[in-house]
Amino acid sequence: APIDPMSVTFQPATGGMNPSGPVLSRRMSDLEGLFADTAAWQEARDGADPVVYEVASSPVPEAPGELPQSITTIHPGTVGGEFHMTKGHQHPNPQGEIYFGLSGTGGLLLFDGTTPKWIPMAPGVIGYIPPGWAHRSVNTGDEPYRFLAVYPGDAGHDYGWVLEHGMGWRVRRGAAEPQLVPFRSE
């Protein structure tokens, strides 16, 4: 059933929402197969197994016609030189999605199966994901990178697509700027 008109208050200190729906936490152990340097990933998993990112959802349901929102916080860090990132997914029912940078520095990596694109993200930047583009977020800074996502409630989430096709590029720490390297170079 559709829900009533409502507002959600963003908690800048934590990236939480009030009222809130489910809050997801992705630890290193949840991210098998993501990072190119498997040995470095195993070391982090077997050590502190840190939380890499968290996703707070508004109470708006993932249902046709609704526009659910979520706030993602990616904690800073690298695994074998590769920046902390989200798993990344494709929407099986292809529709657009909007990201809005809230704090920290990061980027939006998009891939349509042929051509990768990189959108630098910072507070106040709107990143647009057109229908059919897989997307992954990366924290390229030294503080938490946080953004709001707004997406159609019947878009769905396919995580297998990225495991199969990759994302075109990997994003590594460089001397000054993040380095975009071909996905399958290692």
CA distance linking residue 50 with residue 35, whole number of Å: 15
Which three-class secondary structure state does DSSP give residue 51? Answer: strand
Instruction: Name the segment binding ligand F6R (CB under 6 A); options: 14-22, 80-88, 120-128, 167-175.
Output: 80-88
Helix, strand, coil percent values for the chain (each to nearest 5): 10, 40, 50
Looking at 66, 97, 154, 158, which residue binds ligand F6R (CB under 6 A)?
Answer: 97
Q: Binding ligand F6R by CB under 6 A: which of 28, 73, 79, 89?
A: 89
| 108 contact, one of Zn ion, ligand F6R, none, CB 5-8 Å limit per kind | none
Q: How far is the CB of 151 from Zn ion (least distance, A)?
A: 5
Phi, psi angles (nearest 5°) of residue 124: 95, -10
- Rounded to whole angstroms, what are the CA distances from 127 to 25, 49, 52, 64, 134? 23, 30, 21, 23, 13
Q: How far is the CB of 43 from ligand F6R (least distance, A)?
A: 22
Q: CB nearer to ligand F6R: give 24 or 48.
A: 24
Nearest approach, Cβ of 148 to ligand F6R (angstroms)? 9
Listed in sequence order, the residues at least 6 apart from 174 whose beta carbon sits closer than 8 Å to its beta carbon are: none
Of the candidate spans 10-18, 87-95, 100-108, 170-178, the one that interacts with ligand F6R by CB under 6 A turns out to be 87-95
Is residue 126 helix, strand or coil? strand
Rounded to the nearest whole angstrom, what is the least distance from the CB of residue 41 to Zn ion in the complex? 23
